[in-house]
Structure 1
Amino acid sequence: MEKWGLNQRLVFGLTQGIDTLWLRMHWRICRLQFPPTPNYSGDSQTGRLSRSHRLSSSVSISVPFSLNMSLRHSIEHAAGVESSISLSNIVTKSKLTLSKYNQRLVDFVEDVACSLFVGKCMKCLEKFEVQNDCLMGNNKQSMSPLLDTLKMERVSTILNPAYPYPHEHSRHTIMAVVVGCLFFISSDNIHTLIQKLDSNVKWWSMYLCLIGFFYFFSSPFIGKTIKPSYSNFSRWYVVWTFVAALYHLPSFQSMGVDLRMNLSLFLTIYVSSVVFLTAFHIIFLGLWYVGIVARVAGKRPEFFTIIQNCAVISIACCVFYSHCGNRAIQRDKYLHQRNSFYSMLFMKSEDGNSWLSNFLHMYELKDQICSSWFAPVGSASDYPLLSKWVIYGELVCSGSCAGPSDEISPLYSLWATFIGLYIANYVVERSTGWALTHPLSLSEYERLKKQMKPDFLDMVPWYSGTSADLFKTMFDLLVSVTLFVGRFDMRMMQAAMNKVPDEAKDGDLLYDHLNERDELWFDFVADTGDGGNSSYAVARLLAQPSIQLKTDSPMYALPRGDLLLIGGDLAYPNPSMFTYEKRFFCPFESALQPPPWYKAEHIALIKPEIPFGITDLHQYDGPQCFIIPGNHDWFDGLHTFMRYICHKSWLGGWLLPQKKSYFALQLPKGWWIFGLDLALHCDIDVYQFKFFAELCKDKIGENDSVIVMTHEPNWLLDWYWNETTGKNASHLICDYLKGRCKLRIAGDLHHYMRHSVVSSEKPVHVQHLLVNGCGGAFLHPTHVFKNFSKFHGAAYDSKATYPSFDDSSKIALGNILKFRKKNWQFDIIGGVIYFVLVFSMFPQCNVIRILQEDSWLGRLKSFLTTLCNAFVCMLQYSYVSSAGTLILMMSSYSFVPSKLSRKRRALIGVLHVLAHMVASFILMLLLELGIEICIRNHLLATSGYHTLYEWYRAMEIEHFPDPTGLRARMEKWTFGLYPACIKYLMSAFDIPEVMAVTRGNICNSGMESLSRGSAIIYYASVFLYFWVFSTPVVSLIFGSYLYICINWFHIHFDEAFSSLRIANYKAFTRFHITVDGDLEVFTLAVDKVPKSWNLDPEWDAEVRLPQQLSHHRRFPSKWKAASGPDPINSVRVVDHFVIERTKPNRSPRPTLNSSVKLICVFWSANIKPADLMQTRFPRCLRLEMGHD
């Protein structure tokens, strides 16, 4: 009789790949030979294509026998047919059988059948495409895209299959191993283990500490996708070091798990799998190179992915062998085995309960699984060819066997099955990729391309120890400050390029094309270009034709601003082509697309590049944008800013008319905007001062109002740092504007705060001070600036803050709870620092004295004494640790803000370093104690470096005999590499053994007895475990330090919140110059920023003309929130105030040297309060007059 087991079924499943490949190729040929003819029948409103015609007109396909059995039987049962039947009959009979159900259920059965039998459902695409064509008729321009009928994720999955080996094997492996072990471990085994460990508390303590340290180390990677390569490396690193330490502790054999056997077997299978799969991939790439396989097969898998697959295969084989061993083959029929297994599952016992009632006693179930599912596939008599190879295993017969059996070990057949499945799946996916990607038409390809999710970047990791951008930022800042500040200034270069200063003032720097409008809406935002999600959330709000606000009265709409002002810091952490394009331009272009004819790579020779048919900037009715640079934009000497802002024409759908880094805008009703460039000096240069000063004297009237826009809010920063900056800017505001500056707006601080003047004995130079840096960068605290109250001698009061002072202080608590999760790359810096601090203290040979104390109090005293002695020893004899401590002390002192006195800086720095030193020394002693305990209990350092390999060779001879001498021949053929690779791999895996043996040699003979290579190996092995222990602790201490400093001392406001990388609390300010000249100010905010986005179906379905500008669209933004409230629906007003227009004097005396004379006639009448906004206004008559 034919023998059936899991191995047979798995091998039999290999034919599925061949059947699927044949099916897809056959279907492709049929599509080319018999193109489907549309037959529109059924409901005319839905335009459904006749399914019987659509599925049977081309070809009748038989069901492959090796497809998914359960789903296949379900469809066959619903259709009432046998195994071999045409697909069209299945669908037709399914429809007849299920006609009494909802039509959606019928469609579901058809879709399942189509997807199951036609290889990723290429005909399903035709179905939906034809439906859309019928729905929209012959109007191709208004054709609704595929998204109207099918979710884009499903289409993307069907036609663009993901890479078949994603970086999720580690999580699946851990889950499978845990479930498998719990399945085979009964409550009796657990009870035995508890009784054994209860007799000695120290083992419980070691288990608890080990599990705790490894849990906290791996916590940032649990349930969170963090840079797949690093995340998967960390997970496998944790498994490696944790298992290597765990198998030395007593005792998992009580649970039926022999870790030593599993580890040695795992490493052997792992090496074999790596060699085999590497050779396979090399051969496959060679076949691709010569053109035997499809070109799409050239997508090469990452080597790390191959490593993970080998690990998964090895773990599966080890789990099987540890619980089943080499079972004798069962000669029963497969049907009898299956029936006995199912009867055991579902038949009730004498007491009326099934086996589930006695779930913990599963010996019979385990025996059935091992003997039925994992039975051997045969013996040497069945496969004579294999008799020459060492694949025999012993027969499990409780010692009654005379010798090893000739039955083939199921371990080998299981490994071969997994390798075969891997190869078959890889070949099928690569070979059918051409058929899955090429039949798409151009329109289909464009639709699928649009359905991709946005490629937004995450928030900048400011505490990353591996970010090249941060090192470049530090280098650029160092060069800019030390070489260019005071020596070279791009603003002077801009002034020198203006050959005719008068023309420059009127053309390159002054823009008056908006001043003739009756009213004007404009927006202000700053500090964009950090996280893509937050920047796009703000840009999406800015791009909307109007924002509907929910108030007590009916909906209040704020139209889109005709002008957008951006207050600097366009991209973080440094200005470069990559950061500007990905962090700044990409979100804004997704929110409001540039014109169809615009080429982003082209440089604008003549600005502004207005659309065709418009002769002057006054005629352009679309949104425009003016930008000033921030300190981050100056890190490269303003090179990137000039290239992308001053020499480009469009920021998405916003026109960029400006040519210099500073400008002046003349707005309606006597309002002006001064855009100042403060550079890295925090002040304007002399040429900039001259331009604005002359503008104040010549063109700004006495009753005009000016909004001064700068990047840095020097009123807050000067108060915080207790210094004075921006003297030239203050001179311009105080002595030239003379009270006409009604509002100052700035960014740099990533929150919203508004202060308004309360009283002043001196003339008030500025009425309102507004900070809004919530354009996309990480959040800054507000409670640090709570006590600000004076500026230029005037008293100011805080009118609005976002977030509030209380919320801001609560957010800072995240430094204790989330610092490492937000800044996992800080592990590299923190772990290395801690290891340097204790480098010279390894090993502690006298640490055993702590365990010799009788009481816990005595052990604690001995522990503290050892800790103090280690610290004194470091100061007296150490070089590396002492130097590291000194450098850390100096760095900590420099890290404390200079606003504090030197004594307080020194005190805070010393306390900070002491906390780290105490923690690192405690961790060092705990690691040494754990090793010493294992050595004293003969769990480590028993027989040299190769303990695991020697034990494995002994077990290999017993369990995997070599009657033909194959191992000796393999050693000869590989020149000794075969046993040497496995030997040293096992030694490298067994890190605790290497540490213990080398530590014993040092304690017995001194450090001088070690060679340089042995010393490097010892410290490297110590570092691998000390890094796991130290990284959670260093992050906890550093996060606590930041929390204490920001909430108690109000220092480190930048460092303490950049660590949290908060993308929420985003806002922008919308201004409205009314018809009567007043300025309304609305600050709109979004509390929570979406983390994922999908294609907006309304944007996708909207009709678009070929040359239509995006600001004319009703739905201009491409992406909408995938989950949670969209920013359009969750936006709210956090601040609203009105700045009244300055009333003109009744009898103004004209200035003779003015080039423009204003004769103002003010109307007043008896009016009602309700009509005040419509009737109170000045009427101005402009008369052009010549110079004197």
Structure 2
Amino acid sequence: MHRRENPKSPQVDDRKDVGVYICCRAMKGLPAPEMEGLWPLGRRISGGWVQTGSSAEFHRKNEGEGKGRVCRRGQRRGGRRRRGGSPEKGWFVKVDRGGRPVEVVVVIDKRMAKGIRELSKKDQELCCWLDTVNMEKVRTILTHTYPYPHEHSRHAIIAVAIGCLFFISSDNIHTLVQKLDNNVKWWSMYACLLGFFYFFSSPFVGKTIKPSYSNFSRWYIAWILVAAVYHLPSFQSMGVDMRMNLSLFLTIYISSIFVLLVFHLVFLCLWYVGLVSRVAGRRPEILTIVQNCAVLSVACCVFYSHCGNQALNEKRLGRRDSGLFSLWKKGEPSVWLSKFLKMYELKDEICKSWFAPVGSAGDYPLLSKWVIYGEFSCSGACESSDEISPIYSLWATFIGLYMANYVVERSTGWALTHPLSVEKTEKLKNKQMKPNFLDMVPWYSGTSADLFKTVFDLLVSVTVFVGRFDMRMMQAAMSRVHEGAKDDFLYDHLSEKDHLWFDFMADTGDGGNSSYSIARLLAQPSLYALDNNSVQKLPRGDLLLIGGDLAYPNPSAFTYEKRLFRPFEYALQPPSWYKDVHVAVGKPELPIGVSELKEYDGPQCFVIPGNHDWFDGLQTFMRYICHKSWLGGWLMPQKKSYFALELPKGWWVFGLDLALHCDIDIYQFKFFAELIKEKVKENDSVIIMTHEPNWILDWYWDDVTGKNVTYLVKDHLKGRCRLRMAGDLHHYMRHSRVPTENPNSIQHLLVNGCGGAFLHPTHVFSGFDKAYGTAYEMKAAYPEIEDSSRIALGNILKFRKKNWQFDFIGGFIYFILTFSMFPQCNLGHILQNDTFSGHVRSFFSTIWDAFMYLLGQSYVSSTGALLLLVAAVSFVPTKVSRKRRLGIGLLHVSAHLSAALILMLLMELGVEICVQHKLLATSGYHTLYEWYRSVESEHFPDPTGLRTRIEQWTFGLYPACIKYLMSAFDVPEVMAVTRTNICKNGMISLSRGGATIYYASVFLYFWVFSTPVVSLVFGSYLYICINWLHLHFDEAFSSLRIANYKSFTRFHIKKDGDLEVFTLAVDKVPKEWKLDPEWDNELKQPHQPSHLRKFPSKWRANAFHQDPVNTVRIVDHFVIQPTHRLQVAAVNGSASD
């Protein structure tokens, strides 16, 4: 029995009798529609219109919205009424796919199947009964989208590379060494040139740091390296005419770009008028065209170098013989074997068979005026041939293949795809799903807008607001207006628990991998951590304390959302009803069914700000912490930036806000002083949480800060402060009071800033042993002292790899230091010495002369050197005296200046050697183009005047573009010509444009030479300072951007009042993540809060043995007795004495 439905009624009760008919009709030849979703069985589609651009999309949550155009059956569409009955019998869905509309008739139940009969017989043949078909599979097929990946094919690069290696290997490579000049200077120049280019490109080898800069670097290196090698000797011994090949490459390259641009413009015009598929309107990437043109040009040059005119000189093989099997002839296996052993003979056969000419002009009369002709290979004068040039035919073939491939992909490529099954699709989707984590902050980046904003915010905060405006005073003033002001700062809802687990972490929000690793550990219902030879089970903390510096490098909506909230939401999801844009007006905002905070059984979070959170005056912190309710799955009840937490068994936590003053303000001091007087009992125990560990930083900087905090501890708490914990330093260190010292002093000092930020050293602070007049001893350090010293070595070996953006700063500095020394005209005395020692003496004598010129006559370089000296001296920490700062800064600048001058002279010597050996011309800027024009008519005759016609049609752009492209490519020759003019006539003879061209050409090469060296010198400086002088602990380790060695501290207030402390650490942070199938399966089960799930975190490490849950270990474990038990023990100890 079926109940008749109203179209507006959304449900069909009798589901077992429900079926679905789908009829697809391609109105213009389109075989099937593409839809991004199907409504479930028994679901009605509401009437109305849904605007679209590409496909039909139906969403359960948003009826009437999507990407399809939906109308009820029988409704008029496009001026033509469709056949059909009442709306109850189905709907038409019009899918606009590439300009070809498709109709889909959906019939909801069996009773409505008779509506299909109203369709034409042709349409009925296309209809199918889908009762027994898995609707998920149907949805997968219909929703499959062809991505149209018209990208540069790597197969083309591989094919060209293999072809080059094959042809070169066939030409007796051993002759390269035999014919190479015995002069050591050429070996040296090759070694230096290739070495510098290798070190420049080493950060990008095997790792795409940033696609845009990495692609730019590859093309940039290829350009100037080929331009330099082109002028060095010994390539003729390989049978490669570099000059001809470069000329041909540039000519084919610019021609290919012009032809493909015209093709794409025509194709877009056809799309605009509707003559091609609508999908073709997606614009091609310029980089794709450039890369394809480059590979095409290289292939033509390789063919010309190794087959060239030989194919023209030989009689073409017949159709029967000109194939792959023509090399195997019956009865001649030994002949083939001998040919295989002689690679050059095999190459000849390939050139004659596979790359034979396509024919003559007589064979293609219609194309006779639109082709380039070949030549005969002969001795003496050569006459032109009517044979079509094989270079031209190869180029035309590649261009034709590109165009055909492009048209097919943009028009019918979707029909060539084969959608996967539902299971494979889901597996592939889960495999490809990866978290969108940000990298560690590049602190030495010369291009990061965030770093410039950080510097600006810091300057504004320090110079404008410090001492004039303080958000903490504003919070206190606002709280005084309301009754129960202390409720904004005091939280006692946890005090009645029998015992309590809680966690502490600090300095998160840097790299996504490291921050998520810690968040994932914090979110687990329980952790099994290795403690020496045993395993400890530690439940998740009911409370999470975060000690500041929530996002780097500056507080902003972007950094808080991407670097802080995203990792925590991945680790433990907020409630499903929570919206990101929600602003908490009245805190705490509790889930439905929870009347007060003490009834809530989920994890909670309290946060204090750090110095980075204060860079914008605490605005972002207040917005995202004090006016939002959830950090992932952790409830945030706090309303202000500082707070007091009353915990079980007489334990308290004071969360202090030190701002940028490294101390609490007077209103904050007053609140805690009154709280101690009214609430904290004599036998209670207090944990003070601050962002900065001023006890160890004061020792390091020989300073005294936090006087209000010290006064609060000594004169108000009076021995009840059992523990001080802080972050700011991104390592773990614990110092405990020496037993013979004053029992009223703080017992333990704990630093743990390993919540996700870059690592800080521990060996620099290993000498700390006294604070507040009390002696302390180091009990634990992570990483260990020896490991910390070893890690610092990475500044020499990895500085540039970790900080490749520093190139923009370092290369520019070195160029300014040597700007006035270009060119060096009198270098003959260095080359004329006969002994190695004579060369060395002359070389360094010239370096000294250049240095004296810098001091006495230059303006730009001397100013740059002076500014660099000021910056270097200012860069030295104020920990040392002024004289030592000046000495360290002077040595630092001297190292950089010496390296820059040596590089300058090496580069000038290379140019001078090439000029003296006539490898670089000095007559004009267009030598390569003029040579090519002189031989072009001989090698590529044009009897029909095609080049002349092209020149007229392009208004002279055809030869002009090639001419100036060749000049721009040949940077060494531009440098040599301008350098010669300067040395003869002086710098004053150059115009501004000429001077600009010269220094630009110099900079292109000098930047490649200088960037690896400046990073090496600066990295060595940091290593020496951090390991020998114990300076730059922040700068020397932020440069390494180390995501490993992360930790947090878990506390347990036991039933007897003892505070058990575990510090858990992960030595190596995973870099690759995948969707956790356990989490995914659990998510599909009936809804429950994320903190009640067994697998609360979305991502897990790709490798099981690298997951933080499996590698976490305990690096420190100790117990703190409460105050009253400690006092009893002290009394008993003194009585026994």
For 2:32, which of 24, 29, 41 is the aligned residue?
29
Shift of the 160–1041 alpha-carbon distance from structure 1 to 2, 3 Å rule, reads farther
Task: Confirm or deny that 1:1006 pairs with 2:996.
Answer: no
- Are residue 343 (structure 1) and residue 328 (structure 2) matched? yes
State the secondary structure of the residue aligned to 1:407.
strand
Q: Distance in 2 between matches of 1:345 and 1:807?
A: 70
Of 422-431 and 912-921, the range deviating more from structure 2: 422-431
- Are the aligned partners of 2:371 and 2:392 in contact in 1 as well (CA < 8 Å)? no
Q: How far apart are residue 795 of structure 1 and its match? A: 1.1
Question: Could you say if the C-alpha distance between residues 510 and 957 of structure 1 is closer, same or farther in structure 2, counting changes exceeding 3 Å?
Answer: same
Counterparts of 1:168-247 in structure 2, within 5 Å, are: 179-186=162-169, 189-247=172-230
Task: Give the stretch that moved more between structures: 780-789 or 189-198.
Answer: 189-198
Secondary structure at the counterpart of residue 851 of structure 1: helix
- Asked whether 1:735 is paired with 2:734, we answer no
* Residues 1:1080 and 2:1060 aligned together: yes
Report the CA distance between 1:337 and its aligned residue.
Answer: 3.6
Q: Does 1:910 align with 2:890?
A: yes
Identify if the C-alpha distance between structure 1 residues 438 and 343 changes in structure 2 by more than 3 Å, giving closer, same or farther.
Answer: closer
SS in 2 for 1:547: strand
**Cα offset, 1:944, TM superposition:** 1.1
Q: Distance in 2 between matches of 1:928 and 1:698?
A: 79
- C-alpha contact (below 8 Å) 2:316/2:356 kept by paired residues: no
Q: Which amino acid in the other structure matches residue 165 of structure 1?
A: E
Q: Does 1:1101 align with 2:1087?
A: no
The 8 Å contact of residues 390 and 961 in structure 1, kept in 2 or not, is answered as no
Q: State the match for 1:271 in structure 2.
A: 254
SS in 1 for 2:654: strand
Instruction: Give the letter aligned to residue 303 of structure 1.
Output: I
**Relative to structure 1, is the Cα distance of residues 523 and 31 closer, same or farther in structure 2, using a 3 angstrom cutoff?**
closer
2:293 matched to which residue of 1?
A: 310
Give the equivalent residue in structure 2 for 1:531: 511
How far is the alpha carbon of 1:260 from its aligned partner? 1.1
Aligned 1:1059-1138 pairs, distance under 5 A: 1059-1104=1039-1084, 1107-1123=1087-1103, 1125-1138=1106-1119
Pair 1:685–1:448, CA change in 2 (3 A): farther
In the TM superposition, what whole-angstrom CA distance separates every residue of 1:36-62 from its partner, at most 9, and x where no partner exists? x99xxxxxxxxxxxxxxxxxxxxxxxx
Q: Which amino acid aligns with 1:652?
A: G
5+ unaligned residues in a row in structure 1: which ranges?
1-22, 39-125, 135-144, 147-154, 1148-1188
Aligned equivalent of 1:675, options 641, 655, 668? 655
- Structure 1 pair 355–526 and aligned structure 2 pair: CA distance change class (3 A): farther
In 2: Cα distance, 1:162 partner to 1:973 partner: 35
Indicate conservation of the 8 Å contact 2:317/2:353, yes or no: no
CA distance in 2, matches of 1:985, 1:346: 54
Distance 1:432-1:776 versus aligned 2 partners, 3 A rule: farther
Name the CA shift for 1:716/1:444 in 2 (closer, same or farther; >3 Å): same
1:1044 is matched by which residue type in structure 2? Answer: I
SS in 1 for 2:594: coil
Distance 1:1109 1:845, change over 3 A: same
- How many angstroms apart in 2 are the aligned matches of 1:160 and 1:905? 63
- Inter-partner Cα distance in structure 1 for 2:569 and 2:265: 43
Looking at structure 1, the residues matched to 260 and 1001 of structure 2 have their Cα atoms a distance apart, in angstroms, of: 29
In the alignment, what sits opposite 2:671? 691
Matched, 1:1048 2:1028: yes
For 1:246, the aligned partner's letter is V
Tell me if the contact between 2:731 and 2:753 (Cα under 8 Å) persists in the aligned partners: yes
Q: Distance in 2 between matches of 1:921 and 1:409?
A: 51
Task: Select which of 358, 364, 367 maps to 2:348.
Answer: 367
Matched, 1:490 2:471: yes
* 1:538/1:1066 contact within 8 Å kept: yes
- DSSP 3-state at the match of 1:997: helix
Which residue of 1112, 1122, 1125 maps to 1:1141? 1122
Note if contact 2:720-2:744 (Cα within 8 Å) is conserved in structure 1.
no
- The residue that corresponds to 1:1183 in the other structure is none
Name the counterpart of 2:765. 785
Residue 1018 of structure 1: SS of its match in structure 2? helix
Q: What does the per-residue CA deviation read over 1:266-295, in whole Å, with 9 as the maximum and x for residues that have no partner?
A: 111111122222233334444555555555
3-state secondary structure, aligned to 1:796: strand
Which of 1013, 1017, 1025 is the aligned partner of 1:1037? 1017
CA distance in 2, matches of 1:564, 1:128: 52
SS at match of 1:336: coil
Aligned partner of 2:104 in structure 1 is none
Residue 402 of structure 1 and its aligned partner are, at CA, apart by 5.9
CA distance, structure 1, for counterparts of residue 766 and residue 607 of structure 2: 29
8 Å contact kept, 1:519–1:668: yes
1:843 and 1:584, CA in 2 relative to 1: closer, same or farther beyond 3 A?
same
Aligned residue in 2 for 1:612: 592
- For residues 481 and 552 of structure 1, do their structure 2 counterparts lie closer, same or farther at Cα, with a shift above 3 Å needed? closer
Question: Matches of 2:947 and 2:132 in 1, distance apart?
Answer: 60
Partners of 2:148 and 2:409 within 8 A in 1 = no
Aligned partner letter, 2:484 = E
The one of 901, 905, 915 aligned to 1:925 = 905
SS of equivalent to 1:869: helix
604-613 or 188-197, larger mean C-alpha shift: 188-197
For residues 612 and 434 of structure 1, the distance between their equivalents in structure 2, rounded to whole angstroms, comes to 49
Taking structure 2 as the reference length, what is the TM-score of the superposition? 0.84
Tell me if 1:519 matches 2:502. Answer: no
Matched, 1:577 2:557: yes
Question: Is the partner of 1:1102 in helix, strand or coil?
Answer: helix
Report the Cα distance in structure 1 between the residues aligned to 2:633 and 2:911, rounded to whole angstroms.
65
Distance 1:344 1:1067 in 2: 72
Instruction: Say whether 1:873 aligns with 2:884.
Output: no
- The 5-angstrom pairing of residues 285-296 of structure 1 reads 285-289=268-272, 293-294=276-277, 296=279
Mapping for residues 969-1008 of structure 1, pairs under 5 Å? 969-1008=949-988
Matches of 1:533 and 1:373, distance apart in 2: 53
Structure 2 unaligned spans of 5+: 1-25, 42-129, 1129-1137
Determine the C-alpha separation between the residues in 1 that align with 2:807 and 2:996: 22
Mapped to 2, the partners of 1:160 and 1:795 lie a distance apart of 70
Q: C-alpha separation between the residues in 1 aligned to 2:479 and 2:720?
A: 29
Contact 2:316–2:352 (8 Å) recurs in 1: no
State the alpha-carbon separation in 2 of the partners of residues 898 and 1145 from structure 1. 41
Q: TM-score, normalised by structure 1?
A: 0.81
Structure 1 residue aligned with 2:816? 836
Q: 1:514 to 1:963 in 2, by over 3 A?
A: same
567, 586, 592: which is aligned to 2:547? 567
Q: Is 2:880 the partner of 1:900?
A: yes
Bigger shift: residues 521-530 or 283-292: 283-292
Q: Name the residue aligned to 2:56.
A: none
> Which amino acid is the alignment partner of residue 151 of structure 2?
Y
Q: Is the 8 A contact 1:784 1:1046 kept in 2?
A: yes
Aligned-residue offset at 1:428? 3.6
Residue-pair matches, total: 1009
Letter in 2 for 1:332: L
User: How far does the alpha carbon of each residue in 1:748-805 deviate from its partner, in whole angstroms, 9 at most, with x for none?
Assistant: 1111111111145445421111111111111111000000011111111111111100
Query: Could you report, residue by residue, the CA deviation over 1:936-984 in whole angstroms, capped at 9, with x for unpaired residues?
Result: 1111124311011011112211111111122222222222111111101
1:248 to 231, 247, 251: 231
Give the aligned partner of residue 480 of structure 1: 461
Correspondence for 1:165 among 126, 151, 175? 151
Change in Cα spacing, 1:412 to 1:1119, as seen in structure 2 (3 Å) is same
Residues 348 and 355, structure 1, Cα contact 8 Å, conserved in 2: no
SS in structure 1 at match of 2:691: coil
2:1132 corresponds to which residue?
none
Are the counterparts in 2 of residues 562 and 623 from structure 1 also a CA contact under 8 Å? yes
Between stretches 913-922 and 424-433, larger displacement belongs to 424-433
Percent identity, aligned pairs only, is: 71
Matching residue of 1:945: 925
Instruction: Letter of the 1:791 partner, please give it.
Output: A
Displacement of 1:551 in angstroms is 5.2
